[in-house]
Amino acid sequence: MAAGMEKARAVFWKYLTVWVVMGAVSGCVLGIIFQSAGATDGVFVNVVKTPGDLFTNGLKCMLVPFIFSSMICSVFKLRTVVNGSRLGSAAFAYYLTTTAAAAVLAVLVSCAIIVPGVKEPFGTAALPAAVTEGAASKAEAYRGFQEACGHDSEVWCKVRGTLGYLVPSNIVGAMASSQLLGVMSFGVAVGLAIKPGEDGRSGIVDLAGEVQDVMIRLMGALIAFTPFAVCSLLCYVTMTYDLSKLGEYIGWLLAAGFVSQFLQAFVVYPLLYILLTRKNPLTYIKNIVPALTTAFATASSAATFPWTLQCATESNGIPSTVANFVLPLGVTINMDGTCMTLIVSVFWLACSQGLALDFGKVLLMVITATVSSIGTAPIPSASLMYTGTIAKAAGVPLGQLFGVIVAVDWLRDRVRTCVNVMGDSIGVGILAHRFKEAPREEEPPEAPATAAAAAEPAGEAAESEDLEPPELEPHVETFNL
């Protein structure tokens, strides 16, 4: 009996993406049926959307403990990798810089595609009164802040306000009000300030790790209900919103995401490779096609890691000592594709709800997305959590349209995984060129069976302290387990 339950559970998780798509289709069909039957009264609609609301609230309630604990653990681990290592410092700086550039590019593409495309709020439902009143009160508060700022420049006042979020006057109050940028910056500061013991461990980090593990288990349990939540949310959307615009608005969402990721993969990365190595990027990119194909098929950069490592060492001739160090670090902190997807999603949510994103909110989004890259978690569908994080930072409610994002995430996930893997591969090529003194083995090591095995030290091959591979957990972007 127990064996049968375990087998059924394994099948469910293996095909979770299929269940999510089925939930989306079922929700749309039921919504059309209910709308045709005229079953759109308030009580019935509230019953339909309750499972989706509970799912969204569950994601929101885990934001603060998850973000705070993951920041402490990630920064502490990165300190042990980067400290005293020129290659580690260069890799960290490179990946963080490309993530920031990806965030800015996503903002520009969203302004060029989503803002003019989504000209009015989606559907017939107006914004809740609380959102409208909140926007008015924020505008009034901003006018008062501008007077207190003592400066006529609107941009400067918004920058100053953003910096104020980075250093909250009351961290408990910031946690209680879900002021996530302050929570993230405080977590980074704590991770930097912790002094490891003689064994390299810390009780605070161990406690934060336990909290992070608990949050991951809770999110895993919550994600199991994703098909039902998607069905509920899309059923509500198709019942109460204008269906004639649904396909058009989803098209703007997908177009902005794919265009931004195409530019990052085939314009930004090749230009960086040319500028920093003076080599032809086409040959290098052609040699990593097997890794990109695997990334699209599996939608997981962790599952793609063996092919990424093999393409780097065997096809492109990257020294194995450099590849064994840089690639696990990239799988951990490089989330350019995910970062772009999150920003595009929040822009789409804002425009679809009739909300304007000013300079200050956009700046908060870019900072939050960039800082989040050092706190990624090795869990499926972590992007759902980070969508809530960035939306909260920008003051954008997730709303019922969040179900649309979840429903199409299976396709967007595969594209952003390809961008993440390509960013890792281009990064290791650039860093290998800059650190030519790194020793190279005659025979590159075989690709490990799993990303976790690949993240272990490479034994006698890493004789230099600067090239000791980091022991970091990989990031997983998908529903697949």
- Rounded to the nearest 5 percent, the helix, strand and coil shares of the chain are 75, 0, 25
Short-list 295, 319, 298, 297, CA closest to 308? 295
Task: Write down the pLDDT at residue 124.
Answer: 41
Residues in Cβ contact with 42 at an 8 Å cutoff, skipping those fewer than 6 apart: none
Task: Write down the pLDDT at residue 291.
Answer: 93
Per DSSP, helices labelled H in 118-128 are none
Q: Is residue 142 part of a domain?
A: yes
Residues in Cβ contact with 297 at an 8 Å cutoff, skipping those fewer than 6 apart: 414
Short-list 153, 28, 151, 105, CA closest to 340? 105
Task: Write down the pLDDT at residue 404.
Answer: 87
On the CB side of 187, CA atoms within 13 Å amount to 29
Contact 32, 243 (CB under 8 A): yes
Q: Is residue 241 part of a domain?
A: yes
The reported pTM is 0.73
Which residues constitute the domain of residue 191? 2-467
Q: Is residue 474 part of a domain?
A: no
Q: Is residue 476 part of a domain?
A: no
Axis-axis angle for helices 180-193, 359-372 (nearest 10) = 40
Task: Write down the pLDDT at residue 137.
Answer: 43
Which 8-state DSSP code applies to residue 463? Answer: -
With 0-12 / 13-18 / 19 or more C-beta atoms within 10 angstroms meaning exposed / middle / buried, residue 13 is: middle
Q: Is residue 377 part of a domain?
A: yes
Instruction: Extract the tokens encoding 87.
Output: 């290659």
Count CB neighbours of 291 within 10 A. 25
The span from the CA of 92 to the CA of 187, in Å, is 18
Contact 98, 334 (CB under 8 A): yes
Instruction: Extract the tokens encoding 159.
Output: 């920058």
The span from the CA of 350 to the CA of 363, in Å, is 15
Reading the chain (481 residues) residue by residue, the pLDDT tens digits are 667 777 777 777 777 778 888 988 899 899 889 888 887 777 888 888 899 889 888 888 888 898 899 889 888 887 776 654 688 888 888 998 999 999 999 999 999 999 898 877 765 444 444 333 444 444 444 444 444 455 545 556 656 666 777 788 888 988 888 777 788 889 889 988 998 888 878 899 999 999 988 988 888 788 888 889 889 988 988 887 767 777 888 899 999 999 999 999 999 999 999 999 999 999 999 999 999 998 888 777 877 888 999 999 999 999 988 888 888 888 878 889 989 999 999 999 999 888 888 888 898 889 888 887 665 554 556 677 788 888 888 889 887 788 888 888 888 888 998 999 999 999 999 999 988 644 343 344 444 443 334 334 333 333 344 444 444 444 444 433 3
The span from the CA of 350 to the CA of 357, in Å, is 7
Count CB neighbours of 30 within 10 A. 18
Q: What are phi and psi of 344, to 5 degrees?
A: -60, -40
CATH classification of the domain holding 249:
1.10.3860
The span from the CA of 382 to the CA of 399, in Å, is 19
Q: Read off the amino acid at residue 236.
A: Y
Short-list 401, 371, 408, CA closest to 386? 371
- Cα–Cα–Cα angle for 147, 152, 157, nearest 5°? 70
Task: Write down the pLDDT at residue 382.
Answer: 63
Domain count, the chain: 1
Task: Write down the pLDDT at residue 285.
Answer: 95
Which 8-state DSSP code applies to residue 450? Answer: S
Q: Is residue 375 part of a domain?
A: yes
Q: Is residue 472 part of a domain?
A: no
Axis-axis angle for helices 86-117, 402-434 (nearest 10) = 140
Furthest CA-CA distance within the chain: 72
Q: Is residue 480 part of a domain?
A: no
Contact 46, 161 (CB under 8 A): no
- Tell me the CA distances in angstroms from 435 to 85, 138, 319, 324, one per residue in order: 12, 50, 10, 14
